[in-house]
Structure 1
Amino acid sequence: MNFGQFKEELFKEAKKSGFEEYEIYYSDAESLSINIYEGEVEKYKLNNAFGLSFRGKVNGKMGYSYTEILDKDAIKTLIENAKNAALVIENEDVQFIYDGDKEYKELNCYKKELDNIKPDKLISLATEMENECKKQCDKVVNFNGCGIGYGKSIYGIINSKGLNLKNERNNLTAYVIPIIEENNEKYDGMGYVIAKKLTDINPKNLANQGLKEALDRVGGKSIPSGKYKVIINNEAMVSLLGTFSSIFDAEQAQKGLSLLKGKEGEIIASDILTLIDDPHLEDGLGTTAFDDEGVATYKKEIITNGKLNTLLYNLKTANKAGIKSTGNGFKSSYASIVGVSATNFYINPGKKSFEEICEEVKEGVVVTEFAGLHSGANAVTGDFSLATKGFKIENGKKTTPIEQITVAGNFFDLLKNIEEVGNDLKFPMSSIGCPSVIVKELSIAGK
């Protein structure tokens, strides 16, 4: 049964079975991942995955079900499972099948330049990345990974109210993680790129990027415990913002799991901090014209100069709050229910370069990497205590590497204590982006 026939039959049966409103969400994805080890293809994985979820309202309650097969039996199962799920729901949350918006932004998330790239070309580039690392540095003893990945997907929503939306996207990424040895100690670094076209994958540059990061870490030592003025660099700040991003989720706030509950309109951060959710960002990994409920997306400032303007809402949470959805109703997969999440989520960059903000700090610490974010950070309280690597700042310059330290603080306090925002905004293979920031003070446990 083809997709069109399946949809018609499913909708007919849904109506017959007493569903008042109903909708399908579908996803058709293809991915290729290639991993190289010691000049050989270690893994070559081609994946094709189609999935369809059905949701419908019975007696005002929403039931979900899903399938990977399009046939008559699947229609029967989808209807039965969704109906049974709806009938056992006891909470009073109002769920919606959306009528649609008048306008949706025209976006192009599909890069034709990435079409029909031959796998042997990708293998050749990945092998070259490894070779370049060895060529550029005789201290390379191993690799933590070296690979290239390509993915493309089509996803869309069709419902009984006449909504019919579709989006197509693709992406190409490459990375290499060389391990070097110096004085019987091993250090690694990562070179990576999100490519718009094949020529963006430059093995020489990626090898150089990974090696520089590894070599910069050589000889890292602890520092005395104390309170330090800190620069959290762009990549480390991305990992921290990602860990605490759920505090901006209205669903978490409504459940009492975010301290930002009831804080909209209040000052919660430094007056130089502006936090943006931009679903229309060019080449963003989270770029989309509509969310997974069919609501048109738009760019919004979550925080403007320290003031919390809004949390992120889907239709259910917006209805509870008596406001409009912010277009942030998303599923984690076709098989999951609609939750809340950001699109391209980033701190607006400032004007000063990394070197200039080092000069401003004069004496302090640059944090370049946090470890243990899942166990050492509490998104409800905002507290964190994390193993950290970085560098000293001496006389306004980044100098010797630091390791074996733990940085502790509170994310809500950190937002208030940001004194400067750099211009080096970066999205490190992520839909979350940050520039480097100066934090007034953080506690560091060292030697």
Structure 2
Amino acid sequence: MNTNEMIETVATLLKDRPLDGWEVAAATSRLLSIEVKEQKVDTFKCSAPGGVSIRVLKNGGMGFSYSTSMEPADLARMVENALVGAGAQTPDEHHAFPEPRPGSEIPGLYDEGLAAVPEAEKVARAMELERLVMAADPRVKRVRKCSFGESTVETRIVNSRGVDATCRGTSVSASVSAIAEESGNSQMGWDFDFANHFTDLSVDRIATRAVAKAVGLLGAAKIPTMRCPAVLDNYVATEILEVLASAFLAESVQKGKSLLVGKKGTRIVSPLLRIRDDGTLPGGMGTAPFDAEGVPKQNTILVEDGVLRGYLYDTLRARKDGVASTGNASRGGIKSPPHMGVSNLFIENGTVPFDDLMAGIGRGILLTDVMGMHTANPISGDFSVGAAGFLIEEGKVTVPVKGIAISGNILELFQGVEGVGNDLRLYGTVGAPSLRIAALDVSGE
């Protein structure tokens, strides 16, 4: 059964019910996952999950249920379960379904030719990635994990207020972990890439970056504790921004679980920083024409020249604040109800070439990896994590360093930004360019 048949079947079941509103979301998909090891296929998984979910509104209660079976008895049971859920919930006058809003077409989301690419060619792409990594440098001794994945998804969302949104999308990705060894020292370098079209996925680029990370840290030394200028490469800057991501969600703000509560209109970070969430970004992993409620995604400026301009909203949270949804309802799949999430959240690209960020630093640190950034406190912004990178001396990268820790507060760290690189990269749905920080506490020996 395709998404249109699913929607029509379930909508018919709902139309005769005494409800205050309803929503039906249907999705079909095809997923492929390949892992290779030593030029042999290690795992090959193919699946085609699909299903339908509903939300029903009755007397201020919102009920949710889903079904992966299209049997009439199972669909009837799904409707009953959602009605029970609506009755059991604490009523909230702000529960509602969105009205239709004009959105714009986003080209390039669907690769018409992906289904015709032979599976042998996809396996070959993963093997080529492994081969490129092993051939790049004699110090690379093995590949821990080399994978290729793809997904093709079709989604349709219809509600009782007239929303009817359909989208088809494809995505392909590849990743690799390279292990480099020298003089009894071992280091790992990981990298990945993502594209909507098969031909746009570059395994050369992934291999080059993963190997550079692995061999770059060989022979890493320990350094004494110091407070010094620091350059965060775009990966580390992204990891730190990711901790801040939930603070921009209106749900976190309204529940008092955000370090940005009450800070709208005030300067929260360096005036050099602009942060936005763009659900329409070409080639973004979080790009789509509409969100999990059928509201058009949009490009929302969150921080402008260091000043907090606003938050991200879904329908419920927008109604609580008397504003419009920013199209930030997201869904982990047909089995979960919509929740708040970012689309493509990033610090805007700057103009400073990467090497120039280090100019004038007599002694400092270039951070290329942080361990355990997810342990940072998203409410206070405090963090203390392990890190690795390189020493900067007289404006130049000199020796690799390991066994260090960095600590501080995320907002204070971003307040200390005095240079923004021109190398913006998104790692998943969050991204940043490299950043130069005036001073950072680095714990060493």
The TM-score bracket by the shorter chain reads over 0.9
- Alignment-mate amino acid for residue 410 of structure 1: N
Q: Which moved more, 1:387-396 or 1:210-219?
A: 210-219
Q: Structure 2 counterpart of 1:100, which letter? A: P
Bigger mean CA deviation after superposition, 27-36 or 402-411: 27-36
Structure 1 residue 370: deviation in Å? 0.9
The answer to whether 1:207 aligns with 2:210 is no
- Provide the residue aligned with 2:275 in structure 1: 275
Shift of residue 201, structure 1, vs aligned partner: 4.7
Look up the match of 2:289: 289
Matches within 5 A, 1:174-189: 174-189=174-189
How many residue pairs get aligned? The number is 444
Write out per-residue CA displacement over residues 420-444 of structure 1, whole angstroms, 9 at most, x where no aligned residue. Answer: 111110113x121100011121211
Is the 8 Å Cα contact of residues 60 and 92 (structure 2) preserved in structure 1? no
Are 1:113 and 1:196, in contact at CA under 8 Å, matched by a contact in 2? Answer: no
> Aligned in 2, Cα 1:176/1:81: closer, same or farther, shift over 3 Å?
same
The letter of the residue matching 2:290 is: F
* Alpha carbons 1:271, 1:305 under 8 Å: kept: yes
Percent of matched pairs sharing the same residue: 29
Question: Measured at CA, do residues 58 and 200 of structure 1 come closer, stay the same or move farther in structure 2, by a change above 3 Å?
Answer: closer
Whether the 8 Å CA contact 1:193–1:200 is kept in 2: the answer is no
Q: 1:53 to 1:112 in 2, by over 3 A?
A: same
Task: Decide whether the 8 Å contact of 1:125 with 1:201 is kept in 2.
Answer: no
Q: Give the superposition deviation at 1:111.
A: 2.5
**What corresponds to 2:440 in structure 1?**
442
1:65-90 deviations in Å (ceiling 9; x for gaps) = 11111121122111111111111112
Cα RMSD (Å) of the superposition?
A: 1.8
Bigger mean CA deviation after superposition, 61-70 or 328-337: 328-337
In 2, Cα distance between equivalents of 1:5 and 1:42: 38
Which deviations, in whole Å up to 9, do the C-alpha atoms of 1:113-132 show, x marking residues without a partner? 53421111121222222223
- Does 1:408 pair with 2:398? no
Are 2:303 and 2:309, in contact at CA under 8 Å, matched by a contact in 1?
yes
Which residue in the other structure is 1:388 paired with?
A: 387
- What are the superposed Cα offsets for residues 163-183 of structure 1, whole Å, 9 maximum, x if unpaired? 210111111112222212101
> SS at 2:359's partner residue?
helix
Counterpart for residue 299 of structure 2: 299
When residues 23 and 198 of structure 1 are mapped into structure 2, their CA distance, relative to the original with a 3 A threshold, is closer
Q: 1:159 to 1:408 in 2, by over 3 A?
A: same
User: How many angstroms apart in 2 are the aligned matches of 1:93 and 1:357?
Assistant: 51
SS across alignment from 2:144: strand
Letter matched to residue 282 of structure 1 = P
- 1:188 and 1:242 map into 2 onto residues whose CA distance is 22
| Residues 169, 196 of structure 2: 8 Å contact kept | no
Amino acid at match of 1:363: R
User: 1:104: Cα distance to partner?
Assistant: 0.9
Conserved in 2, the CA contact under 8 Å of 1:357 and 1:420? yes
> Structure 1 residues 255 and 195, CA, compared in 2 at 3 Å: closer, same or farther?
closer
1:285-364 → structure 2 map (5 Å cutoff): 285-364=285-364
Distance of aligned partners of 1:393 and 1:76 in 2 relative to their CA distance in 1, 3 Å threshold? same
Superposition deviation, residue 415 in structure 1? 2.1
Measured in 2, the distance between the counterparts of 1:412 and 1:365 equals 20
Name the CA distance, whole Å, in 1 between partners of 2:200 and 2:11: 45
Say if 2:176 and 2:191, in contact at 8 Å, map to a contact too. Answer: yes
Distance 1:330 1:205, change over 3 A: closer
Change (3 A) 1:417 1:278: same
1:339 and 1:199 map into 2 onto residues whose CA distance is 33
Three-state SS of the structure 2 residue aligned to 1:189 is strand
SS at match of 1:280: coil
Alpha-carbon offset, residue 16 of structure 1: 2.7
Tell me what 1:165 maps to. 165
- Aligned twin of 2:152: 152
The CA deviation at 1:199 is 4.6
- Code of the aligned partner of 2:260: L
Q: For residues 204 and 11 of structure 2, what CA distance do their matches in structure 1 show? A: 54
Shift of 1:202: 5.0
The answer to whether the 8 A contact 2:381-2:410 is kept is yes
SS of alignment partner, residue 122 of structure 1: helix
Q: What is the distance in 1 between the residues matched to 2:29 and 2:162?
A: 25
Measure the CA separation in 2 of the matches of 1:52 and 1:300.
30
- Report the CA distance between 1:4 and its aligned residue: 4.4
| CA deviation profile, 1:217-248 (whole Å, cap 9, x unmatched) | 11111211121211111011111111221011
Q: For residues 7-47 of structure 1, what are the alpha-carbon distances to aligned partners after superposition, in whole Å with 9 as ceiling and x for unaligned?
A: 33433332333222111112212111111111110000112
More deviation, 430-439/287-296: 287-296
Alpha-carbon displacement from aligned partner over 1:184-222 (angstroms, at most 9, x marks no partner): 111121343324554545555543332222111111112
Tell me the equivalent position of 2:429. 431
CA distance, structure 1, for counterparts of residue 196 and residue 54 of structure 2: 34
Unpaired runs of at least 5, structure 1: none
Summarize the Cα distance change of 1:57–1:304 in structure 2 as closer, same or farther, 3 Å threshold. same
Deviation at 1:155, TM superposition (A): 1.3
1:266 maps to amino acid:
T
Q: Distance in 2 between matches of 1:199 and 1:12?
A: 42
Q: What residue in structure 1 maps to residue 57 of structure 2? A: 57
Contact 1:53-1:334 within 8 A present in 2 as well: yes
Helix, strand or coil at the partner of 2:86: helix
Asked if structure 1 preserves the Cα contact closer than 8 Å seen for 2:3 and 2:154, the reply is: no
Distance 1:115 1:362, change over 3 A: farther
- Distance of 1:365 and 1:77 partners within structure 2: 60
Matches within 5 A, 1:77-92: 77-92=77-92
CA distance in 1, matches of 2:144, 2:12: 53
CA distance in 2 between counterparts of 1:441 and 1:245 reads: 23
Partner of 2:128: 128
TM-score by length of structure 1 reads 0.95
- SS of equivalent to 1:361: coil
Q: Separation in 1 of the partners of 2:254 and 2:203?
A: 48
SS in 2 for 1:253: helix
Which shows bigger deviation, 249-258 or 156-165? 156-165
Residue 378 of structure 1 pairs with residue 377 of structure 2: yes
Distance between the aligned counterparts of 1:218 and 1:296, measured in 2?
A: 47
SS across alignment from 1:177: strand
Q: TM-score, normalised by structure 2?
A: 0.95
Equivalent-residue separation in structure 2 for 1:158 and 1:363 (angstroms)? 59
Q: How far apart, in 2, do the equivalents of 1:413 and 1:87 lie?
A: 46
Q: Distance in 1 between matches of 2:370 and 2:273?
A: 21
SS at match of 1:126: helix
